Amino acid sequence: HGSEFVFEIPAISATEPPQTRLNALSGQRAVILSKNAIEADAIARTIRANGGMVDLAATDAQAASFAEGCDVLLVDAAMEEGDGRLLRRLRQSGFADCEAITLIAPTDRGMLGEFRASGYATFLARPVRGETLLRVLLTSSVPALTQPQPEKRGAPSVRAIGGRRQGLSVLIAEDNDINAMLARATLLKAGHRVKVVGDGKAAVEAVTGTGHKHRFDVVLMDLHMPVMDGLDAIAAIRRHEEETAVAPVPIMVLSADSQ
């Protein structure tokens, strides 16, 4: 009749359900240019499910009508004509200021240098996973630590916040002690002030619990953490900022993802 095995597993009480991620891409608008309607629709659903806005186009002429207010332009690499000619036309048709991301097949990785030289900021490899899509879009929506970026109204760049010259106030949300230690040491050596927390809930409390005069200049957020993960933490922070009418703190996503 076979064997029967009985075992016990120690467990703790389940934590409360993670907070909704509906606001993770709040205020961000994307345009997808692709002839692959099924893939484009799937990407669009992920963006909308996380609070973003998106328009779909199958030709560059159709895309041009959606250029105004676009933050991120996703272009199917199969439509690029070489030397970035398609992207140049799109820039001239109104997409001058938005970040361009190319959608590539796994076999196109050898062409990444060419895509970057043509003006694409980064890439998404097929099949596009939802978490990778969110990470790339969230990263594209914040200014870099070392490069000055054009300021958007109501959202000062990292370098401009407070006009400080003695370094930035940085929050690191990272549950890996070694990674957190290395990041902290690097930032301290560069003259910045650093606070480290080990989970998303603590990150939300650290950001929302500070007064307006003592806000962090930038947050480095790991995606995979206990209690509350990075995406949920980002959504909670953005909700708090909208409710309290404060400028959004720049959040840079940390991930061990292969992309």
Give me the residue spans of the domains in the chain.
29-140, 161-254
CATH T-level fold of 29-140: Rossmann fold (3.40.50)
Using a 10 angstrom Cβ sphere, with 0-12 exposed, 13-18 middle and 19 or more buried, the burial of residue 66 is buried
State the residue for tokens 């560069």. Answer: 190
CA distance 109 to 102: 11
CA distance 207 to 214: 10
Give the per-residue pLDDT at 23: 74
Among left, alpha and beta (phi > 0; psi -120 to 50; other), residue 100 is beta
Give the per-residue pLDDT at 212: 54
List per-residue pLDDT tens for the chain, 259 residues long. Answer: 677 878 787 776 655 444 445 578 888 899 999 999 999 999 999 999 989 999 999 999 999 999 999 999 999 999 987 778 899 999 999 999 889 999 998 888 778 888 888 888 888 888 888 888 888 888 765 433 333 344 444 444 434 333 444 688 999 999 888 888 888 888 888 889 999 999 999 999 999 986 555 688 999 999 888 899 888 999 999 998 888 888 888 998 876 554 4
> Is the CATH number of domain 161-254 3.40.50.300?
no
CA distance 243 to 17: 22
Terminal-to-terminal C-alpha distance of the chain: 49
The values of phi and psi at residue 4, to 5°, are -120, 125
Tokens of residue 102, six digits = 């190319």
